[in-house]
Structure formats: C-alpha cells, structure tokens
C-alpha cells in the first residue's frame, strides 16, 4: 500500500496510541475488578468469622445458636445486600440454612475452603459471591459453613465499565487519528513549500532562493542547506559559462589568425621564403592548438574519472620526473635537496603525481631566465612532508596569486613576454591535488621568484 508521508506518520502514531490506550483501559478494568472483589471478599471473610462463632457442635450435631433472634432480625430489617448462610456436613449435605435461601442451596466446593478467597455462582436470587470454611470439632472435621452475598450490582458495574471502555476505544482512536493527521499535515507544510519551490528553480532562475522560516529548527537547516547547494550550483554554472567562452576564445583566436594568414597567402603568388615563413608560423599555431586541446581533454577526463590510490615512493618519483623534464628542457639545471634521511612512501597515484610535478617544474623553467636554476626541496613539516618547487624567475603579481588556478588565467608578464601557454596547466594541477588530497600553496615575489609547496598530510604518509 502506497501511503503519503502525512498518512504514514499518522498511521504509525495511531498504532502506538492504540497500544497505549488499550493497555491503559485494560489496567483500569483490572484495577476496578480487583478492588470490587477485594472489598466483597473482605466482607464475606468478616461475616464468616462472625457466624462461625454462632455455631454450636453438640454430639457431632451442628446448628446455629441464636437462630431465632437472627431470623427475627432478618424479617425486621430491609436488607439491600442480604447474606445467605448454609451449613453442610462433610459430604455437602445441607444441615441448616438461612430462610432467605428458600428452596435454593449454595454450591458446596470442597476445594474452596479458604476464608479469604471467594467464587462466583448464579442462584435464583441472582449472581452471588460465595466463601466457605471447614467446621471442626476438636481435630475432627464435621462440616462446612458457607456464606454468600449478592454480586449482581458489582457484576453490572463491571459489565458496564467493560462496555464503555470497548465503545470509547474506537472513538478515542478515530478522534486521535483525525487530530494526528491534521497535525502531521501542518508539520509537513514547510517541506511541501520547499519541494514546490525547489521544483520551480531551473537553470533560468537559479538565482532564486528558498525563503527561510522564522524558527531556528531542522526545516530552517534544510532550507539553508538547499540554498547553499543552489549557491554552489550557481557558481559552478557561472564557472562553466566562463570556461566555455574562454575555451572557444582560446581556440577561435589562433584559428582566425591561421585562416587570415592563409587567405593573404593565396591572394597572389609570393616568394618561396614567404610561403615557408607563413607555413612555419601556421604549424606553430597548430602545435599550440594541439597542446590546448590536450590540456582540455585532461581536464575533462579529470572531471569524470576517479583516481586509484596506492603506495608511491615519493623521492624516487621526483628523481624520475626531474630526469625526464631535464631531457626535454635542454638539460637545464634542476637540483634536488632531500632533507629526509629515509625514503617516504605516500598514498597517491604515480601518473597523477607525475603530471603535477611536471606542470609545476615546466612552469618554473618557463617563467625563469635561461641560466637561473630550479630547485626541489623535500623536507619534514609539522603536518607531514612538504615538497617545494622553487625558481628565481619573473614571479607572480600579488593580485594574481588567487587567480592562477582558474582555467585560462594567464599573468600579464606571461602574455606580454610571449611565453607559450594556454593558462590550463595550474587548473589541472589544482584538480589533481584536490583528488590526491595534497594541499598546494604558493609564495611569490615579483621579479624574484616563486615557490609552489605540495603538502603531504600525515594521513597520506605510509609507514
Ligand atoms: P600557462 O603557464 O600556460 O600560462 P598555467 O595555468 O600553468 O598556465 O599558469 C597560469 C599563470 O600562472 C601563468 O600564466 C603565469 O602567469 C603564472 N605562473 C604559473 N607558474 C609560475 C611561475 N613558476 N612563475 C611565475 N608565474 C607563474
């Protein structure tokens, strides 16, 4: 059965309430029942004791001592709760009884000779409660004294109580169900509003937000969490828009230049050197486009693929990368200063980590003079292990430090100095570092050099 939240919560509450109400009613009935029986049994017990003293046993014959007085009193007084008395011998044969019993006899039950515990039975006079005790002459049992009193009123009271409770039970449950359903509906209202509002928000009106409720409660927390999510989505959408426009600009500009150059070239016949020069510059443009596309592909792949982490020998990896970068960069000077006295193994990914080091090293070489060297420093830090990539190059303007990890951002000096690049290297580095849980920090001084620090937290270090 498919129930909505309002009905489901009301149903659960009503089941719990039904159990509680049923238990309460059961306790009420049992207490009333026990109290009535306790009182009547107490009275019967007292009557038994009183009448036991009025019985004489002479020569084995059992009889009431003051039967005449007693009968007279019975005729004189109107008795609302008459007491029925009967004496029987050991076998249960009636020896004597009170006149109010008439033809009827009380029920002899040899198993019930307890002066504290009675039992119910029906007589012609109505429902009665009876109690009995054994009568002894010395050690010898001679018969039983049986006493009973009317139980009709009490029985009626208990029956009425039972009927009222049975009638009240569904009525209480039904009214509880209606109240709970109403309250559940009221409590779910803010959630319905959030659902409706969230459905209305699309990419076209992503700037709209859910109105916060007045009270500081879980609903407010939920609304705030959804608003935060919308904030993040809006920012991501803006970044995406910016990225797409930057990417198309980055690809379209060299393509337009290439097209323009070729159009000029075919307008009339030219000297062979001119053809060679234009085609060479065209090839360079194609190389640049190729590298931009490669980096865009790497970024796109990083967004969808997850990185598999395993144990990596950090110092060995740094040495490997330095060797290969040197080979491609005319064997420029890259030095490694290892301040650790033993190998360090980190939880990482060789390919991803190589890409990070390669990008940072290539930037350091790219943005420093040909003769100045680049240094890698591996050292212990309070939080784990740090790797610094230091250069003495052109440095970064302070206002650019926060932007260098944005896709397609390029510092003025890189553009003015015609240093090759598309502004994608550091965004790839940042994404990889986030995935590898490496913190990256930058310190730079204009015209003095830059230090990129990769911080490997204690949790990444494998012992
Ligand atoms: P690209 O190098 O292709 O321009 P990056 O994303 O690698 O793109 O770098 C973004 C910008 O950060 C660069 O244009 C440059 O201005 C600055 N930058 C990065 N590394 C260095 C460095 N070692 N020294 C000086 N500037 C740097």
Whether residue 72 is predicted with pLDDT greater than 70 in this model: the reply is: no
Is the CB of residue 427 less than 8 Å from the CB of residue 405? yes
pLDDT for res 2: 73
Looking from the CA of residue 427, the nearest atom of ligand 1 is 6
pLDDT for res 69: 67
Residue of higher predicted confidence among 110 and 38: 38
Ligand 1 touching residue 9 (CB < 6 A): no
Ligand 1 touching residue 132 (CB < 6 A): no
Average of per-residue pLDDT across 181-198: 92
CATH topology for the 307-462 domain: Heat Shock Protein 90 (3.30.565)
Name the residue with the closest Cα to ligand 1, atom 16: 411
Q: Which of 123-127, 190-194, 329-333, 380-384 has the lowest mean pLDDT?
A: 329-333
pLDDT for res 125: 82
Ligand 1 touching residue 250 (CB < 6 A): no
pLDDT digits (tens, 9 = 90+) for 419-438: 888 899 999 999 999 999 99
pLDDT for res 459: 94
Q: Which of 46-60, 262-276, 332-346, 349-363 has the lowest mean pLDDT?
A: 46-60
First and final C-alpha spacing in the chain: 55
Average of per-residue pLDDT across 319-324: 94
pLDDT for res 70: 65
Give the pLDDT band (50/70/90) at residue 211. very high
269 sits in which H/E element = none
Give dist(CA 227, CA 209) in Å, integer: 6
Instruction: Tell how far the Cα of 66 is from the centroid of ligand 1, in angstroms.
Output: 126
Whole-Å CA distances, 337 to 202, 368, 393: 54, 19, 19
Give dist(CA 361, CA 322) in Å, integer: 8
Structure tokens at 360: 């940072």
DSSP conformational letter for 341: S
Structure tokens at 442: 């930058």
Ligand 1 touching residue 368 (CB < 6 A): no
Say if 218-301 and 307-462 have the same CATH topology: no
pLDDT for res 166: 96
Q: Which of 243, 413, 423, 430 to mutate to test the pocket of ligand 1 (most atoms within 8 A of CB)?
A: 423
Average of per-residue pLDDT across 90-94: 89
Instruction: Tell how far the Cα of 53 is from the centroid of ligand 1, in angstroms.
Output: 118
Give dist(CA 270, CA 280) in Å, integer: 15
pLDDT for res 305: 81
- Long-range (24+ apart) CB contacts under 8 A made by 200-207 are 201/230, 203/237, 206/230, 206/233, 206/234, 206/237, 207/234
Is the CB of residue 428 less than 8 Å from the CB of residue 352? no
Whose tokens are 């990185």? That residue is 307
Listing from the earlier edge strand, what are the strands of the sheet with 374-381? Answer: 334-338, 374-381, 384-391, 449-457, 439-445
| Domain positions in the chain | 5-159, 218-301, 307-462
Whether residue 114 is predicted with pLDDT greater than 90 in this model: the reply is: no
DSSP conformational letter for 405: T
Q: Which of 70-79, 133-142, 350-359 has the lowest mean pLDDT?
A: 70-79
Whether residue 203 is predicted with pLDDT greater than 60 in this model: the reply is: yes
Whole-Å CA distances, 4 to 11, 18, 218, 223: 11, 21, 20, 21
Name the residue with the closest Cα to ligand 1, atom 15: 411
State the sign of the Cα–Cα–Cα–Cα dihedral 253, 256, 260, 266: positive
Whether residue 172 is predicted with pLDDT greater than 90 in this model: the reply is: yes
Q: Look at residues 157, 78, 146, 81 and name the one whose alpha carbon lies nearest to residue 118.
A: 146
pLDDT for res 80: 61
Whether residue 347 is predicted with pLDDT greater than 70 in this model: the reply is: yes
Looking from the CA of residue 364, the nearest atom of ligand 1 is 23
Instruction: Tell how far the Cα of 254 is from the centroid of ligand 1, in angstroms.
Output: 20
Is the CB of residue 430 less than 8 Å from the CB of residue 402? no
Give the pLDDT band (50/70/90) at residue 462. confident
pLDDT for res 270: 86
Q: Are strands 83-89 and 61-64 parallel, antiparallel or unpaired?
A: unpaired
Is the CB of residue 282 less than 8 Å from the CB of residue 258? yes
Give dist(CA 259, CA 275) in Å, integer: 14
Whether residue 75 is predicted with pLDDT greater than 60 in this model: the reply is: no
Instruction: Tell how far the Cα of 424 is from the centroid of ligand 1, in angstroms.
Output: 9
- CATH architecture of the domain 218-301 equals Orthogonal Bundle (1.10)
Ligand 1 touching residue 396 (CB < 6 A): yes
Name the residue with the closest Cα to ligand 1, atom 14: 410
Q: Are strands 374-381 and 334-338 parallel, antiparallel or unpaired?
A: parallel
Counted residue by residue, the chain has a size of 463
Whether residue 79 is predicted with pLDDT greater than 70 in this model: the reply is: no
94 sits in which H/E element = strand 94-97
Whether residue 377 is predicted with pLDDT greater than 60 in this model: the reply is: yes
Instruction: Tell how far the Cα of 363 is from the centroid of ligand 1, in angstroms.
Output: 6
The alpha carbon of 292 is separated from its chain's Cα centroid by a whole number of angstroms, namely 45
Q: Classify burial at 230, counting beta carbons within 10 Å of its beta carbon; exposed 0-12, middle 13-18, buried 19 or more.
A: middle
Average pLDDT along the chain: 90
What are the beta bridge partners of residue 449? Answer: 445
Q: Express as a percent the part of the chain with pLDDT over 70.
A: 95
**Degrees (nearest 5) of the Cα angle 118, 123, 128?**
30
pLDDT for res 51: 85
């Amino acid at each position: 059965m498919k129930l909505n939240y309002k009905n489901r919560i009301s149903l659960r509450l009503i089941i719990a309430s039904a159990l509680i109400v049923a238990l309460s009613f059961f306790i009420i009935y049992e207490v009333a029942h026990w109290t009535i029986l306790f009182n009547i049994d107490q009275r019967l017990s007292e009557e038994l004791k009183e009448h036991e003293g009025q019985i004489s046993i002479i020569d084995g014959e059992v009889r009431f001592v003051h039967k005449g007085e007693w009968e007279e009193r019975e005729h004189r007084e109107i008795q609302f709760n008459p007491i029925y008395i009967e004496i029987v011998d050991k076998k249960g044969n009636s020896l004597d009884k009170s006149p109010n019993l008439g033809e009827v006899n009380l029920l002899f039950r040899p198993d019930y000779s307890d002066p504290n515990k009675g039992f119910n039975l029906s007589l012609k006079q109505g429902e009665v409660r009876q109690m009995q005790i054994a009568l002894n002459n010395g050690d010898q049992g001679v018969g039983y004294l049986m006493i009973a009193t009317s139980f009709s009123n009490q029985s009626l009271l208990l029956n009425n109580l039972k009927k009222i409770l049975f009638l009240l039970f569904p009525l209480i449950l039904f009214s509880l169900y209606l109240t709970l359903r109403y309250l559940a509906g009221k409590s779910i209202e803010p959630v319905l509003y959030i659902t409706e509002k969230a459905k209305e928000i699309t990419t076209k009106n992503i700037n709209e937000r859910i109105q916060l409720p007045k009270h500081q409660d879980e609903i407010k927390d939920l609304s705030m969490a959804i608003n935060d999510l919308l904030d993040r989505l809006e920012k991501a959408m803006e970044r995406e828009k910016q990225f797409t426009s930057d990417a198309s600009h980055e690809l379209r500009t060299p393509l337009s230049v290439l097209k323009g150059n070729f159009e000029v070239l075919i307008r009339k016949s030219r000297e062979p050197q001119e053809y060679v020069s234009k085609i060479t510059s065209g090839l360079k443009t194609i190389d640049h486009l190729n590298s931009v596309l490669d980096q865009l592909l790497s970024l796109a792949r990083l967004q969808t693929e997850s990185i598999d982490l395993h144990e990596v020998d950090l110092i060995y990896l740094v040495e490997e990368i330095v060797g290969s970068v040197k080979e491609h960069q005319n064997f420029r000077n890259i030095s490694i200063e290892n301040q650790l006295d033993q190998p360090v193994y980190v939880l990482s990914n060789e390919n991803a980590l190589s890409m990070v080091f390669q990008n940072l090293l290539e930037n350091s070489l790219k943005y420093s003079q040909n003769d100045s060297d680049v240094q890698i420093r591996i050292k212990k830090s309070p939080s784990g292990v740090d790797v610094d990539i230091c250069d003495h190059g052109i440095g970064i303007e302070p206002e650019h430090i926060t932007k260098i990890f944005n896709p397609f951002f390029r510092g003025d000096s890189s553009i003015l100095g015609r240093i090759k690049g598309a502004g994608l290297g550091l965004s790839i580095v940042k994404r990889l570092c986030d995935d590898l849980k490496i913190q990256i920090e930058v310190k730079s001084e204009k015209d003095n050099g830059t230090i990129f620090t990769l911080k490997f937290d204690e949790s990444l270090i494998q012992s």
